[in-house]
Amino acid sequence: MRKLLLCLLPILALTSCETVPSQDANARREMMESIRQEPAGDYYIGRRYYKEDYKFWGWVRAPRQSWTQAKLVMLNEQQKLAPDRAAGTLGSDNNHEYRLSGQFSGDTVYEPASNGFYPEFVLTGAELLDDTPPPIYKSRGALDPKIRIIAQPY
């Protein structure tokens, strides 16, 4: 009888559990709504994705597009330096969100550490929107510059 009660106790505990939305889930919902409200225009939204071993800049998407449609890009900084490079603090803006001016060149650039080809984005301007934006990766470890993974936004 005691064994039976011990077996049933976890089942009873689980049935009384209630799922409460996490802060991340709430932040993501708010983020998705704010993306839907973005004004159309000739600009992009960029999320810096700094990794010590890789040379790509981060994710870039058009206004009103979800992060799942964003492209991981190599920046062409011949006209304008990336904000962290201009400040002399490479990677200090990891996970910061920017309003970007510029355009995709149509070229792809080889990045040797990842052995991948990425679209080239010609940067002409950057305005900081948020230095602590809502999460776009499932794993918090995705933002660790030392971890050699390339996380996809979700």
pLDDT of the residue at 20? 42
Query: Beta 44-48 vs 71-76: how paired, if at all?
Result: unpaired
The domain ranges of the chain are 41-154
Q: Determine the Cα angle at 38 with ends 138 and 83, to 5°.
A: 70
Length of the chain: 154
The mean per-residue pLDDT over the stretch 64-87 comes to 98
pLDDT of the residue at 19? 40
* pLDDT band at 12; cut points 50, 70, 90: very low
Does residue 15 register a pLDDT over 90? no
Does residue 57 register a pLDDT over 90? yes
Which range has the worst mean pLDDT, 11-25, 29-43, 68-82, 98-112? 11-25
Sequence-separated contacts (24+) of 23-27 with Cβ below 8 Å: 24/134, 24/135, 27/134, 27/135
Rounded distance between C-alpha atoms, residue 30 and residue 36, angstroms: 10
Does residue 1 register a pLDDT over 90? no
- Reported as a single tens digit per residue, the pLDDT across 68-78 is 999 999 999 99
The separation between the first and the last C-alpha atoms of the chain, rounded to the nearest angstrom, is 48
Q: The pTM is what? A: 0.82
- Reported as a single tens digit per residue, the pLDDT across 131-151 is 999 999 998 789 999 999 999
pLDDT of the residue at 24? 75
